[in-house]
Amino acid sequence: MSVPTLVIHGGCGVIPRAQMSAAREAGFRASLRASLEAGWAVLAGGGPAMAAVEAAIAVMEDDPNFNAGHGSAFNADGAHELDASIMDGATLRAGSVASTRRIRNPIRVVAELARRGADPLMLAGEGADRWAADNGFAMVENGYFATDWRRAALEEIRARARAGTLAAAPESEKHGTVGAAALDAAGHLAAGTSTGGYTNKMVGRVGDSPIIGAGTWADDRTCAISATGKGEFFIRKVLAHEIHARMLWGGQSLAEASRAMIHDELSGWAAGAGLVALDRAGNTVMPYDTEGMYRGKASPAGIEVAVYAA
């Protein structure tokens, strides 16, 4: 029997510490705790890792504090296009959706695609929305995903683009993602990721979050990973699978492989990178190269959350 463990992140796009009020930080911490409690309830009840990942992420998709589901970033047309994926480490089954506009909880849909384990694994755009509707998933109008905070971020990014100061924008204005990785009592791993992408992204842009091996990976032989940051770089590096490969064939530990990818391979790329992961023994890591990362862990020892470095 393994010791059930769940790790989550709400993205590296944290509000700078100097701008974060105590009340706002308390709100983020409460949101992280709610996600962990939902996922932990599954694991504590003997449920599978993939169901725990789905439950934890669905809570964050419904929470306007995070850039996934309700609260997603606006694209260049002032609309929302959502991406998500999930992977089961026991079977390597996976599900993925990209550029969806009406699915309330993309993580629910990708979990069902993974459970079916057949063709298709990945759906995009109108096709993803149609499949979700036909299969009874909750659908919403695109405006459901909007929040005043994300609208203000869109206007700020547009203003910075006109002024030529886009590079100076804080991570909180640019992007964000949510994700989770879990180990269940049976020793199986799973991971999932969901996002609205980055603010003012080109219509149709797809990042790493729905790409199995880039932003999400789970394999019972090694680890489960959910990443957050500038997806274009993660896709080029096949970041999540590379960590798995370093462990499986290179003999590195989870900590060594994760550190190498976040702090060495992506050094100088301005990727705003981070991830949460755990290995088959239940060891966990949460590296990031930004000012902070919304993150947390649940295990028999309790629940802990964090935003900035200790």
- Catalytic: 290? no
For 7-124, where are the alpha helices, taking DSSP H only? Answer: 22-44, 49-61, 106-116
* Residue whose structure tokens are 């480490």: 89
Preceding peptide of 120 cis, ω within 30°: yes
From the candidates 177, 195, 222, 290, give the one annotated as an active-site residue.
177
- For 64, the token pair is 């306007």
- Using a 10 angstrom Cβ sphere, with 0-12 exposed, 13-18 middle and 19 or more buried, the burial of residue 248 is middle
Q: How far apart are the C-alpha atoms of 163 and 224, rounded to whole Å?
A: 41
Q: How far apart are the C-alpha atoms of 135 and 183, rounded to whole Å?
A: 28
Q: What is the largest CA-CA distance in the chain?
A: 57
Catalytic residues: 177
